Structure formats: structure tokens, C-alpha cells
Amino acid sequence: MKHKHAMRDLPKIRDSLSYLYFEYGHLEQSKLGVEFVNKQGSIPVPVASLAALLLGPGTTITHGAIRTVTEAGCSVVWCGEQGVRCYAQGVGETHKAYRLMRQAELSATPDLRLQVIERMYRARFPEPLPPGLRIEQIRGREGIRVREAYADAARRFGVEWTGRSYNRTDWDDTDPINKALSSANACLHGLVHAALLSSGYSPALGFIHQGKQLSFVYDIADLYKMQVTVPVAFSVVAEGVSKPETLVRKRCRDAFTNLKLLQRIVPDVDRILRLDVESETPDGFDPDDDPALPTPWWSNPNGPKPDKP
């Protein structure tokens, strides 16, 4: 039983491959696992060692395949063309809620939320924030730094840069560098999404970003964009690739592996939310030991325990 607890304590997202993106094909259950089938043939999908499966346009998946994928702890994200829109996602593997409870408390408490935002800022930029700034002022400083980082990357790689924008209704009307950035960021969002779900965080309860179902995904992905997706996108476009999306996805996958990003995401989030120093299950109850076991009644730790029914 002890060994089982160790296996269920936290899905080993850090040991997984990052992601695979498929479009215009069919995923089905086979005797050996899950296969992707298209006009060119079929290939096995290593869902047992995969963090996220991104399903693009023209993709279908059977009931047996989706069951195998989720039982393997692989997150499934249904996304738009080149991965630049997210339509739906699967659930995470862990049954614990202590991370979500702490996240909800921090995001709903103005003073605590501002402290988290300040820690996020310090994780991205070297200079400290002046004390007493409002969230709008912090966002303004962040926006200036991000624009400077894009301009610096454009100078380093020799890529023409007129600003971050793309046509949401006409992908082909977008210039190559913005296509590359959108595709790279979609890969990063899928990876971060998988890590958050697998560790029990809500992708919706953000701090800097708020009001969307992926707000926290955007918050955490922003911690790594200047280190990962921005240099990947600018380097690919600098090579003169006319349609950079496919090469960007491959380069992102390599960069995620080289930087061991999956090993970093959950510890970084725990550290930012100060969960790295808190006990996971102070009452000794572990929902992952037996997912079907009903949760115990809530009780005030400083007051009398409720009577048993």
C-alpha cells in the first residue's frame, strides 16, 4: 500500500514527454495501445509517457482510445488550427484538492492575490517592484518589459517586427513571425495546461489574467515565454521558412525537453503560491489512496469535531 501511495501521490508529469499534435486523422484503440491513423498509414501514440495530446481540426477519437489516454494520465486538449485556439480539455489524474483550495483562497483575497502577482513578476524580471503599486501599474510595467523583449529578440535574430498581432478570423493573413509566436505559445499553453490539471490546480483561477477558463494557464506560461517560445519563434522565422508552424512545434518540443520544462512547472507554481512549504494533507486523508472513498466531513480545526452520522 505504501508503494501505491507513492505512485499516486503526484502524477509524474515531470518524467513525461511534452506533447504531440495531430490533425486530420483518427485516433483509435489497438491491441498495443492507441494509434493515429491517416492517409499515410498508422503510428503508435505513447500515451503512457505523454503529458498532453493536442487534437487539431479533422481529428476524431474513439471511446476506447480516450479511455486509454485518460487512464494513462495524459491530458487531452481539443484545439483549433495550428493549436491557436482551445475548445475543450480533459481532467487531471490526481484526486487531491488542496492545491485548488489554496489557489482559490489566494485568487479571491485582494492582498494575497497581489503578493502572488509580485512573486510572478519577480520570477520573470530581475528588478524589484516599487512598493505600493496597484495591479494596473504592475500590468503596465509588465507590458513595457514584454514589448522590449520582443523588440530585442527581433534585433538579435534580424527579423522585421511591427508588433504582436494576428487576424483571428484569417490565419493566412498573419505575418510569419506572429504565426510562429502563436503556434509556439499554443504548444506551451498545452504543456502548462497538462501540468496544472495533473497536479490539481484550476486552469481558470488566474491572478494577472482573470475571467477566462485558461487564465491561470496564461499566467504560468508567461513565466517561460521569453526563455522558450520567443527565441524559438524568432529563430525559425529568421531561417526564412514561409510556413513556420510545423517547424516551430518541433523546435518547441526539443526546447521543452532540453530545458526540462515539465520538471519545473509544478514546483515553480507551488513556490509562487507558497505551497512548497505547506502540508498537503494536514488531516492525514489522501484522496489518491482510494479515489472512490467519500471525503470526510469538513470540520473546524480549532473547534469541536462534528458528530458522526
Strand pairing partners for 35? 28, 44
pTM for the whole structure: 0.69
Give domain status of residue 289, yes or no.
no
Per-residue pLDDT tens digits of the chain, which is 309 residues long: 344 443 344 445 566 677 788 889 999 998 888 999 999 999 999 888 887 888 888 899 999 998 888 777 787 888 776 555 665 666 666 667 788 889 999 999 999 999 999 899 888 887 777 878 888 888 888 888 899 999 999 999 999 999 888 776 777 778 899 999 998 998 899 889 888 887 888 999 999 998 888 899 999 999 999 999 999 999 999 999 878 888 998 899 899 989 888 889 989 999 999 986 555 555 555 666 555 556 655 555 555 554 544
Whether 44 and 138 map to the same domain: the answer is no
Give domain status of residue 302, yes or no.
no
H or E stretch covering 142: helix 135-157
75-79 and 41-45 beta bridge pairing: unpaired
Domain containing residue 83: CATH number: 3.100.10.20
The greatest distance separating any two alpha carbons of the chain, rounded to the nearest whole angstrom, comes to 71
Measured CA to CA, the distance from residue 134 to residue 96 in angstroms comes to 33
Whether 69 and 131 map to the same domain: the answer is no
Query: For residue range 185-217, what is the model confidence (pLDDT) as tens digits?
Result: 988 998 898 888 878 889 999 999 988 888 999
Helical pair 176-199 and 229-238, crossing angle rounded to 10 deg = 150
Could you give the 3-state DSSP secondary structure of residue 133? Answer: coil
Whether 161 and 256 map to the same domain: the answer is yes
Give domain status of residue 203, yes or no.
yes
Whether 147 and 268 map to the same domain: the answer is yes
Whether 114 and 259 map to the same domain: the answer is yes
Whether 74 and 115 map to the same domain: the answer is no
Give domain status of residue 266, yes or no.
yes
Tally the domains of the chain. Answer: 2
Do 182 and 82 contact (CB within 8 A), yes or no?
Answer: yes
Query: For residue range 43-64, what is the model confidence (pLDDT) as tens digits?
Result: 999 888 887 888 888 899 999 9
| DSSP codes, 279-292 | -S-TTS--TTT-TT
Domain containing residue 224: CATH number: 1.20.120.920
- For residue 195, the enclosing domain spans 98-272
